[in-house]
Amino acid sequence: MSAPTYPSIAIVDIPGKGKGVVAREPIRRGTRIIAEEPRIRVPHYQDRRQALDLKSLSDADLKFFLTFPCEDGMDPVRGRLRHLIPCVGAPDEASALFETVCRMNHTCYSPLGRPNALYTWVEERKEENIAENEEITVGYIQAKTHVMDPFTLLRQQWGFDCRCAGCQRPLAERLESVERVQAFNVHTREVPDRMERNSGYWPLDILDDIERNLLAICAEGYVWEISGCAHDAFQLCAFYGDGASAARWEVLAREVHRVIHGVDHEFEKSAKLVARPTGFRQWKALVLGKAQKLRGPSQKVLSCFKQAVMTSNPIKCSNHECSKTEEGSVKFRRCKSCLDTLGLDVYYCSGECQIADWKSGHKSICGKAVKV
Ligand SMILES: C[S@@+](CC[C@H](N)C(=O)[O-])C[C@H]1O[C@@H](n2cnc3c(N)ncnc32)[C@H](O)[C@@H]1O
């Protein structure tokens, strides 16, 4: 094991993957884990044709270079240059091998797991809380746009056999996932498009698409997408003046968002709309007195939500100032009154956090919206 470059992480051997990076202490979501200088730069590597002149490297750098894996049958230099990462913004458009960043292994998005970190130049993006000793991984391939089995794609493009949990599933299960992901992509593109295109009139059957989409999301474990979809359903029900169904979708959207990402003020705004629907420009039917009965989230959707949220995320304290996760035998308390009807539980690590969260906004949501 090499000396850790950063206080909370270490480069270690990971069975079957060569080296990898693990957390040495819990890392909170949103923490910048690494910001480092390149170790071996390769200018103008964009077209991937320029090779590296090994003779130009110092002995120490050459040794470092050779520690990177090179899959069987690949050229020993080019095979290792696959691990280069672009130095974004560098005037010479260089790519480089970095001591730590380049040691991060890949995890596919699947019902069995996903990357817990990402390379980003956008500060707002946050991934997961990371537990002590957990491996820190990123995604080498696009999360949801893959049109083929990620295991096969990684073998073709990267030359390695992915050992993440999702890729250890039997081929038939992986292919089912690919089908769901494709359906999900079609719905994701089409639903907002159809809602936008028909700005004066939203076809009712979008609700069926949203429900199908949600079931695919839940099966794939893309839980962070749930709130956006549920929010679309909220808008649709609101548009047709079904305040009760709109409110149930809205609570679901907001609570899922809160459990997974933390409080979002846009979602907090929609809570206010539910409380005062006439303030909502699109809430046409209600305002015009032509309300139509639609449907809230079905039991199937709700139980999928519950399972997806619970299995893909550790139970977290819902006080966004805290976000502790439940560990060991100490069980978090639940807010009983609020979301039992939706099948979602809101957890708190302590009475203090429950009170703090109540004061900072839970009070306005708790069980009220569903009674509209
Ligand atoms: C950017 S490097 C990551 C660090 C590398 N493991 C090392 O030892 O330096 C990418 C290489 O790591 C290995 N790797 C990354 N993710 C993997 C995974 N999920 N399963 C198996 N091998 C993986 C593959 O050899 C891949 O070509």
pLDDT category of residue 6 using cuts at 50, 70 and 90: low
Number of Cβ within a 10 Å radius of residue 205: 9
Mean pLDDT taken over the chain: 79
Helix (H) or strand (E) holding 334: strand 333-334
CA of 158 to the centre of ligand 1 (A): 9
Judge whether residue 128 has pLDDT over 60. Answer: yes
The pLDDT value recorded for residue 248 is 83
pLDDT of residue 372: 35
Angle at 325 between CA 339 and CA 118, to 5 degrees: 105
How many whole angstroms separate alpha carbon 268 and alpha carbon 110? 30
pLDDT at 69 over 90: yes
Q: Are 280 and 272 in contact (CB under 8 A)?
A: no
Segment 279-286 shows an average pLDDT of 60
Whether the per-residue pLDDT at 289 is higher than 70: the answer is: no
pLDDT score, position 89: 75
pLDDT of residue 244: 79
| Interstrand relation of 347-348 and 333-334 (parallel, antiparallel or unpaired) | antiparallel
From the CA of 106, give the closest atom in ligand 1.
Answer: 16
Give the C-alpha separation, 314 to 29, whole Å. 13
Give the percent of the chain with pLDDT over 70. Answer: 78
Give the predicted TM-score (pTM) of the model.
Answer: 0.70
Answer for the pair 138, 115: CB distance below 8 angstroms, yes or no: yes
Mutate to test the pocket of ligand 1, among 160, 162, 164 (most ligand atoms within 8 A of CB): 160
Give the pLDDT of residue 3. Answer: 41
pLDDT band at 324 (very low <50, low <70, confident <90, very high): confident
Ligand 1 pocket test, pick from 105, 118, 152 with the greatest ligand atom count within 8 Å of Cβ, gives 105
CA 106 / ligand 1 centre spacing (Å):
7
| Residues within 6 Å of ligand 1 by CB | 16-20, 68-69, 83, 102-106, 158, 160, 162-164
Distance 34 CA to ligand 1 centre (A): 18
The region of weakest confidence among 158-167, 224-233, 237-246, 281-290 is: 281-290
